[in-house]
Amino acid sequence: MAAGTGTAGTGVTAGTAVAGTDADASAALGDERVDHRFKGLPPDAEGLTVAALAAQRRSLFTGGFTTPVLALSAESVEHNLALLESYSARHGLAFAPHGKTSMSPQLFARQLDHGAWGITAAVPHQVRVYRAFGIRRIFLANELVDAAALRWLAAELDRDPGFRFLCYVDSVRGAELMDQALRAAGAVRPVEVVVELGAGEGARTGARTEAECAAVADAVAATETLRLAGVAGYEGEVPAADGDTVRAWLRRLVALAADFDHAGRFEVRSGAADTHPGAPDEIVISAGGSAWFDAVADVFAEIPPLSRPVLRLLRSGAYISHDDGHYRHLTPFNRVPEEGSLQPAFRLWAQVVSRPSPGQAFVNAGKRDAAHDLDLPEAQVVRDGRTGEIRPAAGITVTGLSDQHGWLTTAPGAELEVGDWVGMGLSHPCTSFDKWQLIPLVEADGTVSDLIRTFF
């Protein structure tokens, strides 16, 4: 259920040490002071630590929070975490959820506590955030050719023998640039790479053909600074994606891994660096966004026996908050309902600040507050400004967003007046988290049990 409409509190309070993260860094989140940097928080909480404010368990509605304010449902987050944990275990998948969805160390910790193998990143900044909070396994779903970032990575791998890092490589030039930067940095441990197979002509990144993938693998083998660990890609970019085309591409990915294995491309080269404990003797095959992970589970179950164990790595990330738009319609659980269902966890609360005509109203939340890259927010409930009663947002539609205003169209008879709060569902979680640095985690009755910090 969306924030403010579910049951018990299940948050991890900022500052609580959790498995898989750096305890000091986690504790520091709770020590941060509440001030003007964080929108929506109570003005009278100025100067309190985040942990102290969370401990007060204020009401989102009567505890001094100002509008607009984004709320995250404690119950829905916990439900979604548990569902993907059981799903991954049931299908024999390791799980490295894409952290760029939330960029929240507290939520990373919850994901690791729910069995995640590691966390996926997209850019070097995200990797640095993960490492600052002690994440031990990171999959970078991009080719890393930034010399400064590679220099930092080499030092980080050398500093921490327990840190495992993998990233894409999709070009001969990319392998050459990585090798040059790592040699210049005096890297001791080789960087594990997976060859990215593109999802088709006109898709996003990735080598387009198996022959090009083989050339990339040869370029990796020609270096001492890189080690080929597997193959990977993103099925969400398959042109005109449907169940058949996505599964066909996934079978190409699996066949590529089998061909590489048969050719001996995954054999670990001799030498102390190549037998480092951070590089286990396994073959990585990875895919999985949030729209087609049922297809990934199906095809990865077909992976034939290879010369060494296979890490079947799923990377879906949007599940943790789900949404009320894009993923609500695309979720694999709609196609396979017996697997369960995800729950939208976001609700953006804004206040009616103008009712200029019977058919129009404006709330004080706009593009700066709400995800709008795929779908407009969805008016779901109204909290009466006089009585505090919450009712369905019957006859109320969000029709547009300005920078700081939401445009509402109201049908005849719709109950809405200045001062009412409108609770809206959001589409696309990846562009919801990035607009809020500190997000109240809210229980069913409106109690704020925690504050979720993000780093975008």
Least Cα distance to 287 among 252, 320, 319, 337 occurs for: 252
Residue 309 is part of a domain; what is its CATH number? 3.20.20.10
**pLDDT of the residue at 225:** 98
Residue-wise burial string across 215-239, b where 16 or more C-beta atoms lie within 10 A, e elsewhere: bbbebbeebebbbbbbbbbbbbbbe
Q: Tell me: do 300 and 205 sit in the same domain.
A: yes
Q: Tell me: do 217 and 182 sit in the same domain.
A: yes
> Cis (ω within 30 of 0) for the bond into 332?
no
Q: Tell me: do 148 and 263 sit in the same domain.
A: yes
> Residue 254 corresponds to which tokens in the numbers above?
């699996």
* Chain length of the chain: 456
Tell me which DSSP letter residue 224 carries.
Answer: S
Cβ–Cβ < 8 Å for 169, 193: yes
Q: Tell me: do 361 and 433 sit in the same domain.
A: yes
Contacts 24+ apart (CB under 8 A), 393-401: 393/422, 393/423, 396/361, 396/422, 398/424, 400/376, 401/366, 401/367, 401/370, 401/372, 401/376, 401/377
- pTM given for the model: 0.93
Q: Tell me: do 356 and 308 sit in the same domain.
A: no
Q: Tell me: do 275 and 352 sit in the same domain.
A: no
**pLDDT of the residue at 18:** 45
Provide the number of structural domains found in the chain: 2
Q: Which residues, other chains included, contact 211 with Cβ-Cβ below 8 Å and sequence gap of 6+?
A: none
Q: Within a domain: residue 129?
A: no
**pLDDT of the residue at 280:** 76
Residue-wise burial string across 193-206, b where 16 or more C-beta atoms lie within 10 A, e elsewhere: bbbbbbbbeebebb
Least Cα distance to 411 among 385, 370, 379, 384 occurs for: 379
**pLDDT of the residue at 12:** 44
Q: Within a domain: residue 85?
A: no
- Alpha helix segments (H runs only) across 4-49: 23-31
Q: Tell me: do 275 and 156 sit in the same domain.
A: yes
Residue 405 is part of a domain; what is its CATH number? 2.40.37.20
* Residue pLDDT tens, the chain, 456 long: 455 543 233 344 444 444 455 778 888 999 999 999 999 999 999 999 999 999 999 999 999 999 999 999 999 999 999 999 999 999 999 999 999 999 999 999 999 999 999 999 999 999 999 999 999 999 999 999 999 999 999 999 999 999 999 999 999 999 999 999 999 999 999 999 999 999 988 899 999 999 999 999 999 999 999 999 999 999 999 999 999 999 999 999 999 999 999 999 998 765 434 445 556 789 999 998 999 999 999 999 999 999 999 999 999 999 999 999 888 877 899 999 999 999 999 999 999 999 999 999 999 999 999 999 999 999 999 999 999 999 999 999 999 999 999 999 999 999 999 999 999 999 988 899 999 999 999 999 999 999 999 999
Q: Which residues, other chains included, contact 269 with Cβ-Cβ below 8 Å and sequence gap of 6+?
A: 227
Q: Within a domain: residue 120?
A: no
Cβ–Cβ < 8 Å for 419, 385: yes
**pLDDT of the residue at 196:** 98
Domain coverage including residue 248: 136-316
Q: Tell me: do 269 and 365 sit in the same domain.
A: no
Q: Tell me: do 301 and 386 sit in the same domain.
A: no
Say which residue the tokens 């940095």 belong to.
Answer: 185
CA distances from 291 to 116, 122, 264, 331 (A): 19, 18, 33, 5
Q: Tell me: do 416 and 281 sit in the same domain.
A: no
Say which residue the tokens 């990035």 belong to.
Answer: 434
Q: Tell me: do 290 and 355 sit in the same domain.
A: no
Last residue of a domain, one of 267, 298, 316: 316
Q: Cα(436)–Cα(183) distance, rounded to whole angstroms?
A: 40
Last residue of a domain, one of 298, 316, 334: 316
Q: Within a domain: residue 360?
A: yes
Cross-strand partners of 98? 120
**pLDDT of the residue at 429:** 87
Q: Tell me: do 145 and 57 sit in the same domain.
A: no
